[in-house]
Amino acid sequence: MKKLFSVLLVPVVCLLCMGVAFAEANGPSVGLETPVSSQNYQPGDNIQITGNAQNITQVTILVRNATGGMAYAAQPSVENGTFSTEFQLNNDAVAGQYTISISAKELSAPYSFTFKVFKSSNNTGVGGVSGGPTSNPVTSTTGTATVTPGAGGTISLGSEAKIEMPANALTGTGKVEVKVQKATTPPAVPAGFKLAGNVYEFSVGGKNNYTFAKNVTITLSFDPKSIGQDETPAIYYYEESQGEWIKLGGTVSGDTVTIQVNHLTKYAVMIVKNDVVNDDGLLAVALNDIAGHWAYDNINKLVAMGCISGYPDGSFKPNKSITRAEFATVLVNAFKLSAVDGGKTFADTASHWARESIATAAANEIVSGYDADTFGPNDLITREQMAAMIVKAAGLAPAAGETQFADIGSISSWAREAIAIATENGIINGYPDDTVRPKAGATRAEAVTVIVNAINE
């Protein structure tokens, strides 16, 4: 049963009922939209957080449990002055007082409130209490099996596709059905790529967008006859929200590729087609919306390298804005950065599609967050943020002098050196009016060009 989140502290509830919310004077404000009477929660309950905001485009919601651990994180957009998100308390949720913090880049301080979680005496098995022996890991080659979270198991569809789940990778304590199957309506393959096998869907409890508590291992087979000379197969996953195939990579062994992931979606083994790459390493078959574009060669080069891909309709959308997560992912692919054990996972990237790429970039000291818990993966990247990342990735030497752009005063202090280095090396260029526009967003074409310029250094 879905429950609307409510505040336990009576003074806060009263303030909200009178229409008072956390706010800057004559500026941004945020608060709960419809507060109700105090409510306690049990593991397994759904909690919905709905609020209103003024002069704010996106909020960051962080939920911490009684021990200070992260229980949930989200960054819902504010649409028509309201925002909403919902999550379910894990069956093994810690009992005690939880804290919810709602913040935004426009606010100087977060808006915080609390609720309580208690363990029902009927919740046997919660919190490590069990009435029976531990189950053994399950093994199935039929593509489906019922799995106990505390035991884990290996589910495969013959020798085609396999998922290996360690103990406690599944959330909760109840048994769930895990399936591996071929996608009945697979998404289109981007221009310049070809499938080396089938597209597979994995699901847990009927959910195709499941997020695990621990990394799981996925292994996909491919047809060796489909691989040409100097072609390397890699696992790609389909990002539904963007309608885009995104490269993960993986370890090739014989006719299989293996990768570790923390979420489920559609996966496939693909390669960049050599037969559409010319002598310059550029795609001979153009994407359908970049002919005549100023970044034509740069786009083709990174697509041919497998660092970024087009969309299922054959377009690239060169003038579309690019997010911090997307830029970090392309950067990791272009500079072939290796994952590092213990890479930083921010609270708002724990279940994000770019979690591994962001962790890799952070471990290589190329990116950092707004604070210890917040990276802002869906924020549009600014030109000064892009300069800071690319300079670190390329390992460029300090600039001989300071930048002399007309809008130097608008460059953040932390980005001045990076912009000076990037512009001195011809990686980022200014505009005809002698400005660099550090706070402006970047397009996919601009991001690709910056990375190609850095690679050529």
Residue 388, token pair as written in the block: 């800071």
Query: From residue 68, how far is each of 92, 126, 219 by CA, in Å?
Result: 15, 19, 35
The neighbour count for residue 191, using CB atoms within 10 Å, is 21
- What distance, in Å, lies between the first and last C-alpha atoms of the chain? 58
- Least confidently predicted of 56-60, 173-177, 196-200, 256-260: 56-60
For residue 165, pLDDT over 90 is answered with yes
Question: Which residues does 126 contact at the CB level (< 8 Å), separation at least 6?
Answer: 43, 91, 92, 119, 173
Which parts of 110-241 are beta strand (E)? 111-117, 138-140, 144-147, 153-157, 161-165, 176-182, 193-204, 211-221, 234-239
- Least confidently predicted of 56-70, 222-236, 276-290: 276-290
The confidence score (pLDDT) of residue 242 equals: 66
Q: Higher confidence at residue 255 or residue 115?
A: 255
For residue 24, pLDDT over 50 is answered with no
Work out the pLDDT band at 192, boundaries 50, 70, 90.
low
- Least confidently predicted of 31-40, 177-186, 284-293, 348-357: 31-40
Q: What is the pTM of this model?
A: 0.47
Domains for the chain: give ranges and CATH numbers.
2-117 (2.60.40.1930), 138-310 (2.60.220.30), 319-457 (no CATH)
For residue 18, pLDDT over 50 is answered with no
Helices first, then strands: H and E counts in the chain = 7, 22
- Least confidently predicted of 27-36, 72-81, 363-372: 27-36
Q: What is the mean pLDDT of residues 324-344?
A: 84
| 381-426 residue pLDDT tens | 999 999 999 999 988 888 877 777 888 888 888 888 999 998 888 8
How big is the chain by its Cα radius of gyration, in Å?
A: 24
Work out the pLDDT band at 122, boundaries 50, 70, 90.
very low
Indicate the SS3 state at residue 83.
strand
The confidence score (pLDDT) of residue 120 equals: 54
DSSP label at residue 373: S
Q: Which long-range contacts (CB under 8 A, 24 or more apart) does 401-409 make?
A: 403/436, 405/430, 405/434, 405/435, 405/436, 406/433, 406/434, 406/435, 407/435, 407/436, 407/437, 407/438, 408/436
AA identity, residue 265: T
Work out the pLDDT band at 144, boundaries 50, 70, 90.
very high
Q: Higher confidence at residue 330 or residue 231?
A: 330
Q: What is the mean pLDDT of residues 271-286?
A: 52
Percent of all residues in the chain with a pLDDT value above 70, rounded to a whole number: 82
| 72-112 residue pLDDT tens | 777 778 888 888 877 777 766 778 887 787 887 777 777 77
The confidence score (pLDDT) of residue 67 equals: 73
**113 closest CA partner among 219, 231, 210, 20:** 20
**349 closest CA partner among 319, 320, 328, 366:** 328
The confidence score (pLDDT) of residue 312 equals: 65
Read off φ and ψ for residue 310, nearest 5 degrees. -85, -170
For residue 17, pLDDT over 70 is answered with no
Residue 390, token pair as written in the block: 């690319």
